[in-house]
Amino acid sequence: MADKTELQYTAEHEWVQVDGDTALVGITAYAADKLGDVVFVELPEVGSTVAAGTVVGEIESTKSVGELFAPVDGTVVETNDAVVDSPELVNSDPFGAGWLLKVTFTELPTLLSYSEYSALVGE
């Protein structure tokens, strides 16, 4: 599991772990909790180009449908097939096995720190 305090966040409830020019992306436990039991995850195709702030996937739960936004401009280099096959991983391990995609980027936009995100969601 990633250390939540060392991750960066978006206001749309995604977390980002940066490793060189690659961003590992998932949704936060807060978002997973608000969605409820996740039953379906749709992710972008590997090789597709994404733009920060645009919808790149969908997360469907028993309560609602949520959109997955790209936190960076770049190219999708990997998606988590395990989450597609077992969407409940988003709920059970959002900061670990429930990661969603990896994107290579050229420039990292300004993201929220853990304390800024915690203040945003009132944690």
Average pLDDT over residues 11-15: 95
Q: What is the pLDDT of residue 57?
A: 96
At position 36, the amino acid (one-letter code) is G
3-state helix, strand, coil in the chain (%, to 5): 20, 35, 40
- How many of the other CB atoms lie within 10 Å of CB of 123? 11
pLDDT digits (tens, 9 = 90+) for 63-118: 899 999 999 999 999 999 999 999 999 999 999 999 999 999 988 999 999 999 99
Q: What is the pLDDT of residue 3?
A: 84
Domains of the chain: 4-110 (2.40.50.100)
Q: What is the pLDDT of residue 103?
A: 98
